[in-house]
Amino acid sequence: MLSRALCAVLSGGKGDKTLFVLLIVSLMKKKWYISLLFLLMASYADAQNELFSRQYFLNNYLMNPAVAGVNDYMDVRLSYSRQWTNIKNSPTSILFTFNTNLAKDKDQVLRYSDFDKRYRVEKGHLDYNYRRIKHGVGAKVTYDKLNIFTYTDVTLSYACHVPLSPYWTLSAGVGAGVSMSTMKIGDEYVGDVDDPLLKVGKRNEATPLVEAGVWLYSTGPFVGGSLSRYMKDPYDEDNKERYNNIYATAGWQLYFSRFAFVPSVMYKNDGYSGTGVDINAVLWYEDMVWIGGSLRKLENPSVHMGILLRNTIELNYTYDINKRDWGASHEIGVAYRIWKRADACKNKWYFR
């Protein structure tokens, strides 16, 4: 990764050249930990669009606007993650998402009251009015920080869910927003070095972004794909074009006895670090507790666990194992479900 980061610095725009000069200065001052940090920042800066949440499989709306409104409740989520704990000023991220459908109470998709009925739903016994089209809306805010860099993305989304049969629904969604980046250079990095690229202060940029996706789902299998694009930055003198992000997801919700097993796979291409494939698996017990594991880009394993309280409050934790000496990564998340009917919280099934 560091070799790709150095190449990115040498071939990048004005912001990347600033990082290169900072790297040389830190080497001259023999501040090796800062040199490593600048290399990491180069990789992080050019790949800022990559999804860094380890818990995205619990919240597919993070990467696909078509998922907005897929559930019968208003879903509000907040998570915090820190990567590479052995490195000072390592990356931290805060994610906030909200999505809901606009259906009235009587138009909710599934109506049943206990976990055991999930099996019968899997077999096709549905109380389902599949002729009704549903609409969903959502919003997400992501905040990433790595030493002198901060990135904030704000996106609003809309999705339309069209039932194809009593068992399958196809949704399409679009989103638009803005990506704001800040680079703040302090005296501790440059000292008395006289270079216009190393002017102490703060630089701000704003870039529009758009996204679109599709999502085909049922009570069992699901598949979807999305594309997000960071538009050209009008403030960038080099007119450097942002990379596209492509995500494709497929999985299956399997129900047996009082357990639910959800394996899934995700393909992603962020245009900078190339393609990658993630494998995820989650095992639920009566929708109260769950454990899971992931293989990120087929090389970095993660362990997940969580608990659901009264089918309303969800608490999650992820431990990411790093094969290098940079230290592990941690992510904690909390979700709150606001049900539209007083008796709806008894429903155990929800789309993951």
Parent domain of 204: 47-346
Does one domain contain both 36 and 121?
no
Name which of 4-8, 156-160, 186-190 the model is least confident about.
4-8
Classify residue 144: in a domain, yes or no.
Answer: yes
- Please check the confidence at residue 131 and state whether its pLDDT lies above 50: yes
3-state secondary structure 277-301: EEEEEEEEECCCEEEEEEEECCCEE
Counting the structural domains of the chain, the total is 2
Are 2 and 82 found together in one domain? Answer: no
Strand duo 169-185 + 201-217: pairing: antiparallel
Residues 135 and 191 in one domain: yes
For residues 143 and 85, what is the distance between their CA atoms, to the nearest angstrom?
18
In-domain check, residue 351: no
Residue 9 CB-density burial (10 A; 0-12 exposed, 13-18 middle, 19+ buried): buried
pLDDT confidence band for 188 (50 / 70 / 90):
low
Kindly report which listed range (12-26, 36-50, 186-200, 310-324) carries the lowest average pLDDT score: 12-26
Question: Which of 89-103, 167-181, 261-275 is most confident?
Answer: 167-181
Indicate whether 120 and 216 sit together in one domain: yes
Percentage of the chain beyond pLDDT 70 is 63
What CATH code is carried by the domain that includes residue 279? 2.40.160.40
156: Cα within 13 Å, side-chain hemisphere: 1
Q: Are residues 12 and 51 in the same domain?
A: no
Q: Are 143 and 42 part of one and the same domain? A: no
Q: At what angle do helices 2-11 and 32-46 cross, to 10 degrees?
A: 70
Instruction: Decide the pairing of beta strands 169-185 and 134-146.
Output: unpaired
Domain co-membership, 21 together with 168: no
Q: 238 and 313: one domain? A: yes
Mean pLDDT of 195-215: 77
Least confident of 5-19, 21-35, 80-94, 213-227: 5-19
Average of per-residue pLDDT values in the chain = 75
Shared domain check, 114 and 2: no
Distance between alpha carbon 317 and the CA centroid of its chain, in Å?
A: 15
Residues 19 and 60 in one domain: no
- Domain-located, residue 142: yes
Q: Does 195 reside within a domain? A: yes
DSSP assignments along 182-242, one per residue: EEEE-HHHHTT---GGG-SEEEEEEEEEEEEEEEEE-SSEEEEEEEEEEPPPTT-TT-PPP
In angstroms, the CA 135 to CA 98 distance is 14
Under the banding of pLDDT at 50, 70 and 90, the label for residue 14 is very low
Whether 352 maps to a domain, the answer reads no
Instruction: State the pLDDT at residue 241.
Output: 56
User: Percent of the chain, pLDDT > 90?
Assistant: 37
* Same-domain check for residues 136 and 252: yes
Written as six digits, the tokens of 169 are 């629904």
pTM, two decimals, is 0.77
Residue 271: which pLDDT band, with cuts at 50, 70 and 90? low
pLDDT, position 40:
52
Whether 185 is in a domain gets the answer: yes
Give SS3 for 140: strand
- According to DSSP, the residues that pair with 75 across neighbouring strands are 99, 337
Task: Please give the pLDDT value at position 76.
Answer: 96
In a domain, 157, yes or no: yes
Q: 21: Cβ–Cβ under 8 A, 6 or more apart, which residues? A: 195, 197, 198
Q: Is residue 130 domain-shared with residue 271, that is, in the same domain?
A: yes
Helix 14-28 vs helix 32-46: angle between axes, to the nearest 10 degrees?
A: 170
pLDDT computed for residue 238 by the predictor: 55
Residue 134: inside a domain, yes or no?
Answer: yes
Mean pLDDT lowest among 71-75, 163-167, 184-188, 283-287: 184-188
Number of residues that this document lists for the chain: 352
Round to whole Å and give the CA distance between 265 and 191. Answer: 48
Q: What is the mean pLDDT of residues 156-168?
A: 93
Contact present, 159 and 212 (Cβ < 8 Å)? no
Q: How far apart are CA 327 and CA 248, in angstroms?
A: 29
